[in-house]
Amino acid sequence: MIGEGTKGRRDGGTKGGPLGALPTKVGADEGWRVWRGRALDPFAEIEMFFQDRGPVPETFARLRRLLDAAGIEFVVIGAFALGAHKYRRATEDVDVCLPAEGFEKFKRELVGASYERVEGRSRRFRDSETRVTIYVLNAGDLAGRTSRNKEIRFPSPAEAMEIGGIPTVSLARLVELKLVTWRMRDWADVIALIRENELDEEFAEQLNPLVRMAYLECYDEMIEEDRYNPEIHDAPR
C-alpha cells in the first residue's frame, strides 16, 4: 500500500478528505472542545472552520497578529498552507516555522502571557484562550522521518511567499514536507494537492530526488481513485 515506502509506483493508497482530524477530546463531553465557556460539538466546530470561525481559525489569526507585533518572522506550514494551495481541510492545530532567534523571542515575550507550554513537548504550546495547540518547528531542522531523510529541512521565513494572504512555502516545498514524513495521512494530502492543482508527472522534477518516487506513487494513486469517482465518470467495468 501507499505509505509503506517506495516499493513500486502501482501500489494502493489512502484517501484523504476535507474533514481532517476531529478536535481533541478536551471538553466535559467526550470528544468536545471547551470554547468560550461551552463544550463545542466537533461537527459544529468543523462547520465553523470552513466559515473561518471557531477556535482554530481564531488561534491562527491571533498567532499571526502577535508574531507580527513582536517582530518575529515566521512561515506557515500544515493545514493552513494546504488551504493556501487550493486544498482546504479541517485541522485541530496550527503549524509554524520560526528561526532560532525568533523561537527564543517567542518564548520570552509570548509564552506565559498568551501561550502555555505543553509538558514534555519543547516545541508544542497551547493558546491560553482557545486551548488550541500550536506546533513551533525549528527552521533548518531536518523534516519528517529523519531516519530516512538527511536532505529536506523545515523552511525558514526567508522562503515565505504570500499566497492567499498567508506567508507560506511554494507548492513544491509543501509537497516535499508532506512526502518526507512517509505517513499515509500526509501522502493523502499530497494526493489532494495533485488533484486540486491539476499537477502532472512532470511536477516530480521540481522536487528533491529523495521524494520523487513517492510523489509518483501519490500521482498514480490519484489516477486510480479518480477512475472510480462517479463525479468524474462511471466506474470501470
Rounded to 5 degrees, φ, ψ at 138 are -90, 115
Query: What are the extents of the domains in the chain?
Result: 33-227
pTM: 0.84
* Residue 26: other Cβ atoms inside 10 A: 19
pLDDT in tens, 6-54: 444 433 333 445 555 545 444 445 568 888 888 888 899 999 999 999 9
Q: DSSP readout, 52-100?
A: T-SHHHHHHHHHHHHHHHHT---EEETHHHHHHTT-----SEEEEEE-H
pLDDT of residue 140: 97
pLDDT of residue 10: 36
pLDDT in tens, 71-128: 999 999 999 999 999 999 999 999 999 999 999 999 999 999 999 999 999 999 999 9
pLDDT of residue 207: 98
pLDDT of residue 17: 55
As a whole number of angstroms, the distance between CA 181 and CA 58 comes to 28
CATH 3.30.460.40 corresponds to the domain 33-227 = yes
Give strand pairing partners of 118. Answer: 121
Burial of 194 (0-12, 13-18, 19+ CB in 10 A): buried
